[in-house]
Structure 1
Amino acid sequence: MMHSLPEKPLHQLLAEMLPEFGVSHLFGVVGDANLFLVRHYRSEQLGRYIACTHEANAVLAALGFAQASGRTGVATITHGPALTNAVTALAEGAKGGIPLVVLCGDTAPGDTQHLQKIDQKPIIEATGATLVEMRSPETAIADLERAFAIATHRHTTVVFNMRVDLQWSNAARHASLSPCIPAVRMAAAAPAEIEDAVGMLASARHPLILAGRGATDPQARDAIVRLAHRVEAPLATTLKAQGLFEGEAFNVGLCGGLSHPTAIDVIMRSDCIVAFGASLSKHTTEEGAYTQGKRVIQVLPDAEDNPRLDRPTLRLIGDLAETADAMTGLLDAAEIPGSQATSPYLAERLAGEAASFDRLPELRETAPGTLDIDYALRRLHQALPVERVLAADLGRFVTTAWRNLPVKRPQDLVYSCHFGAIGCGLGEALGAAVATTDRPTVLAVGDGGFQLSGLSELSTIIREKLDLVILLCNDGSYGAEHVQLTRRGMSTDISMIDTADFAATASAMGMDAVRVSDTASLEAACDAIARRNGPLLIDIRLDPEKIEP
């Protein structure tokens, strides 16, 4: 016979269940439909609550936290305009396949004159997020468990819709029942498909092993490296798996538009690519140029549909580590020799690429009061700790930032560009900085995206004393629009932004800040990085005519 614990208001019971689902950090903005849940979470010290100034940034912060920590992010917002404020952030999470649960209030069905009433279901579903309704006080815990299970297992954004009239109902949980999100473990791909893949690898003279974000589990990483050693193939990663093969002798780095010359040569010469946990999007394959005419074997951990998926020669579905080890075992059993694609010549070229990156690039001439973006970011790379997290907003500066500010581990790259929206970087950097305590978080952001993010969120960053360095790439323009107008020989006036003194603004709010407009002030910024004891903003003035599209 199951015994129930004493009844209490449902909002209290929901708050008390969060730690049992592994929630240690809750990002949010309070309103009447989530106020008392958050109050109980804080007053009972059930975890750390990070109060944001805007609902979009609360959800984005949870996305950044999820990426940096490898856990499910959790945010809470109220109903109506709070939900509409967060629509872009919800779409970003859904498109990115990031595990996230948003505890979202909702108005009572009969309260037709409530000013904030809106039909929330179609709004949530339009973003691509999954809606889970809190059906009743009796089912609330099971409903919440379902929300966390979907977010965790499907790697997606889930909105848990909590009617405010139900939250004051009394509810109890059964003493013997504990929430459980079971682990899912798959087997290797089908034996026949593994045999086909090994047959392709065996006949390859220049194989290449590629890993994406789905392959960053340590067991998968080690199994993929064993396979690469066995077939004597170079290793590469997608952008979102950057740093996965750090320290491997034949790691050629990124595959895609950010590949260095030696990597491009290796990719183009390859005749068989085995891609683990990578969607093979157009950004990784350079619109198909890197895979054309080659045999491509794609190994994925699930069969979920993904609009970024390209069609490979052969697709295997199974546990990545088990599948890689099964391929290695079959190669051994058949006594297939290595390809000799890893050679001393390749090692020498890769060493040359590393040495070249360690040097500052040539300082290009720019307009007075501005600095060359490549030179500035590479110098700041040298000044920043090697171990760091990088979050980057979207803009024409972003590829330059990714190229010049590399990270050493996949979880140290926070990607905020899944929906093609500027303004997502600041919120995600905030969440990443909360999640990361052993290294600084660096945000590369444009002036347009920085203002769209909401300058008020700097107050959250300052209040939380986050180790966050903001590199503001300030060219006084909306870059993508500036590029399009320039290419058509049109006036760029409409793309220009009146340049604000962001350093003065940040200083007035209580944040350390430096304005960079020449090499001397750049060195002052490097000194400020070394001396920082809290968040720091570096306003880098750039020439809008001298930034690559």
Structure 2
Amino acid sequence: MAEATEKAVCELLADSLVAHGVSHLYGLVGDANLFMVDAYIRAGKGRYVACNHEASSVLAAIGYAQVSGNIGVATVTHGPALTNIITPLVEGVKGCIPLVVLVGDTPPHDLEHLQTVDQRELIKATGAGFVEMRNPGTAMEDLARAFRLAAVERKPVVFNMRVDLMWEKAPAEKPPVRQAVSIRAVAPEGEMFDEALGMIASAKRPLVLAGRGAIEPEAKAAILDLARRLEAPVATTLKASGLFHGEPFNLGVFGTLSNPVGADTIMQSDVIIAFGASLSWLTTVSGAYIKGKRIVQIVGDMQENARRTEPGLVFVGDPALTARRIIEVLDEAEIPGSQATDENLRKRLEAQAEEFATLPTLPETTPGTVDLLATLRHLETAVPKDRVLVTDLGRFIHTTWKVFTTTEPHNFVYSAHYASIGLGMGEAIGAAIAGSDRTTLLVAGDGGFMMGGLTELSTAIRENLDLIIIVCNDGSYGAEHIQFLRKSMDPTTSLLFTPDFAAVARSMGATGIQIRDNSEVPVAIEAIKHRQGPVLIELVLDPYKIDS
């Protein structure tokens, strides 16, 4: 039988996804995308993960992208499906996360179609890219352009595909794959860089900081070599957590989450050399951590530069090449090390690590509740160290980030770029699939879990994910509860009436443990250690006694 010379557009798009190496497609089908999804599944080259809500599909792609380092891919149908993904698209835009989202669209001639909406304008408002599938003959070329834009511009790109074109025929040619242009910045030069070199050479207590823009292996190696040459401690932004795991002079997270020794060392530093870090108000503690210090900041592009908020010397440069260039100049000038990484700092860091390793006693709290920090510390002992950490947003989050550390940046999934609660579970699904060789831990609040967690718990169970979910149930919307109390007002409006999350999890086929008393903590630990499939641990907390 002769090979077909034409294929339906829905099949051509599936072929294009395969050609782009899409190993996982997250989605929810409707009349405008179901045949494309079916063709992708039948091709047998990738895995389709069905979600229960369109927003979760895109969030799963975001979680997958953060853990895998690849472009996340999702698909939904038209109209209300598209309006359901507005918040996840904004989250992806603010996080500079490359995604391609294949979205259906209604026929332009059907003016009375109930789901017609101006999709281009909606997407434009989110800041995401928009690529229109022009006609059947350009379908694969247009989709290739969407992939390239997502990679180059580091943001979500919506690929808009009309439902009335899905069964139109076009030549079955080899799908084009537009490779993203490889643009590597060089090491900076010029008078201003000479000034920066002078600042670094004269530093008495330098500190080297790395952000998410400097986590690739070559950059990490060069930055560590620079720190050793300067005899300077290292630190990371929150989103680069774990980059320097195991290094003797690693201060941990630089910013509002700094540990005591790290905070003290940061305050004593005189020059900070920051690679791939935007120096946001959270990283700098509203400027307090860099006040009076000389700053040398190396960013990968001007987009990153536009987000910085503090003064200093800023250069667009490749992190690895720039670090190597600084080392070269220091060696040529025979500049000695700073001796900032002395025995005293080593002992202080070691003592702090030993103190943290000592488990706290579980304190008595309000009857029917447990203490957040102490309980999380005990649960942490049962969770594998090489874990993927995903957090929703809430007043529990700072405690969680301090207790559950990660061993490398791709093991940390940040879901708070848009400061929205309810995004964690969707991202945890994609993260757990991308990091299937590791355990994924999601920590969420009761309000956020009611929004998105219960919706997708069945997805996690169906996919049999190695997922541990800790729900911090304080029976309230935490931020709002705090604001009422600060004004000495009745916080009743901020209170929630949630179900027994553990019982709901059990009814759906997962393991569910509710902790209302310290005696139940060992039961939860055993459930985590012997889990088979998703486990949900519900911590019942007193909303009036949470130290965030």
Q: Following TM superposition, by how much is the alpha carbon of 1:172 offset from its aligned partner in structure 2, in angstroms?
A: 2.1
Does the 8 A contact of 1:267 with 1:290 survive in 2?
A: yes
Q: Following TM superposition, by how much is the alpha carbon of 1:146 offset from its aligned partner in structure 2, in angstroms?
A: 1.4
Does the 8 A contact of 1:190 with 1:316 survive in 2?
A: no
Q: Distance in 1 between matches of 2:332 and 2:409?
A: 33
> What code does the residue aligned with 2:45 have?
L
> What code does the residue aligned with 1:117 have?
T
Q: Following TM superposition, by how much is the alpha carbon of 1:191 offset from its aligned partner in structure 2, in angstroms?
A: 4.8
Q: Following TM superposition, by how much is the alpha carbon of 1:151 offset from its aligned partner in structure 2, in angstroms?
A: 1.0
When structure 1 is superposed on structure 2, of 281-290 and 12-21 the one drifting more is 12-21
> What code does the residue aligned with 2:346 have?
A
Equivalent position of 2:170 in the other structure: 171
Q: Following TM superposition, by how much is the alpha carbon of 1:454 offset from its aligned partner in structure 2, in angstroms?
A: 4.8
Matched, 1:140 2:139: yes
* Cα shift readout 1:513-541 (whole Å, capped 9, x = no counterpart): 11111222111000001110111000111
How many percent of aligned residue pairs carry the same amino acid?
53
Please show how residues 288-303 of structure 1 align to structure 2 within 5 Å.
288-303=287-302
Equivalent position of 1:502 in the other structure: 501
Equivalent position of 1:33 in the other structure: 32
Equivalent position of 2:88 in the other structure: 89
SS across alignment from 1:76: strand
Q: Distance in 2 between matches of 1:176 and 1:112?
A: 33
Equivalent position of 1:523 in the other structure: 522
Matched, 1:367 2:371: no
* Cα shift readout 1:176-220 (whole Å, capped 9, x = no counterpart): 955433433332223544322211101111111000011110000
> What code does the residue aligned with 2:36 have?
L
Does the 8 A contact of 1:79 with 1:105 survive in 2?
A: yes
Equivalent position of 1:42 in the other structure: 41
Equivalent position of 1:323 in the other structure: 322
Equivalent position of 2:408 in the other structure: 409
Q: Distance in 2 between matches of 1:149 and 1:334?
A: 44
Does the 8 A contact of 1:62 with 1:431 survive in 2?
A: yes
Q: Following TM superposition, by how much is the alpha carbon of 1:300 offset from its aligned partner in structure 2, in angstroms?
A: 0.6
Q: Following TM superposition, by how much is the alpha carbon of 1:305 offset from its aligned partner in structure 2, in angstroms?
A: 5.4
SS across alignment from 1:473: strand
Please show how residues 136-535 of structure 1 align to structure 2 within 5 Å.
136-175=135-174, 178-304=177-303, 308-535=307-534
Q: Distance in 2 between matches of 1:306 and 1:106?
A: 36
Q: Distance in 1 between matches of 2:178 and 2:172?
A: 11
Pair 388,353 (structure 1): closer, same or farther in 2 beyond 3 Å: same
Q: Distance in 2 between matches of 1:389 and 1:365?
A: 31
Q: Distance in 2 between matches of 1:150 and 1:128?
A: 13
Does the 8 A contact of 2:23 with 2:47 survive in 1?
A: yes
SS across alignment from 1:159: strand
Unaligned runs of 5+ in 2: none
SS across alignment from 1:31: coil
Q: Following TM superposition, by how much is the alpha carbon of 1:318 offset from its aligned partner in structure 2, in angstroms?
A: 1.5
> What code does the residue aligned with 2:419 have?
G
Equivalent position of 2:116 in the other structure: 117
> What code does the residue aligned with 1:76 have?
T
Does the 8 A contact of 1:209 with 1:273 survive in 2?
A: yes
SS across alignment from 1:143: helix
When structure 1 is superposed on structure 2, of 170-179 and 463-472 the one drifting more is 170-179
Q: Distance in 2 between matches of 1:118 and 1:443?
A: 35
* Cα shift readout 1:75-113 (whole Å, capped 9, x = no counterpart): 000010001111111110110111111011111111111
Q: Following TM superposition, by how much is the alpha carbon of 1:417 offset from its aligned partner in structure 2, in angstroms?
A: 0.2
Aligned residues between the structures: 546
Q: Following TM superposition, by how much is the alpha carbon of 1:173 offset from its aligned partner in structure 2, in angstroms?
A: 4.9
Does the 8 A contact of 1:194 with 1:327 survive in 2?
A: no
Does the 8 A contact of 2:140 with 2:175 survive in 1?
A: no
> What code does the residue aligned with 1:548 have?
D
Q: Distance in 2 between matches of 1:143 and 1:199?
A: 49
> What code does the residue aligned with 1:284 have?
T
| TM superposition score normalised by structure 1 | 0.97
Q: Distance in 2 between matches of 1:212 and 1:386?
A: 22
Q: Distance in 2 between matches of 1:231 and 1:172?
A: 60
> What code does the residue aligned with 1:129 have?
A
SS across alignment from 1:124: helix
Q: Distance in 1 between matches of 2:304 and 2:351?
A: 40
Equivalent position of 2:77 in the other structure: 78
> What code does the residue aligned with 1:39 have?
D
Q: Following TM superposition, by how much is the alpha carbon of 1:364 offset from its aligned partner in structure 2, in angstroms?
A: 3.7
Q: Following TM superposition, by how much is the alpha carbon of 1:362 offset from its aligned partner in structure 2, in angstroms?
A: 4.5
Instruction: State the Cα RMSD in Å.
Output: 1.5
> What code does the residue aligned with 2:418 have?
F
Unaligned runs of 5+ in 1: none
> What code does the residue aligned with 1:293 have?
G
Q: Distance in 1 between matches of 2:34 and 2:175?
A: 29
Pair 333,50 (structure 1): closer, same or farther in 2 beyond 3 Å: same
SS across alignment from 1:444: strand
Q: Distance in 2 between matches of 1:306 and 1:203?
A: 25
> What code does the residue aligned with 1:243 have?
G
Q: Distance in 1 between matches of 2:281 and 2:364?
A: 33
Q: Distance in 2 between matches of 1:449 and 1:339?
A: 47
Q: Distance in 2 between matches of 1:352 and 1:469?
A: 30
Please show how residues 529-544 of structure 1 align to structure 2 within 5 Å.
529-544=528-543
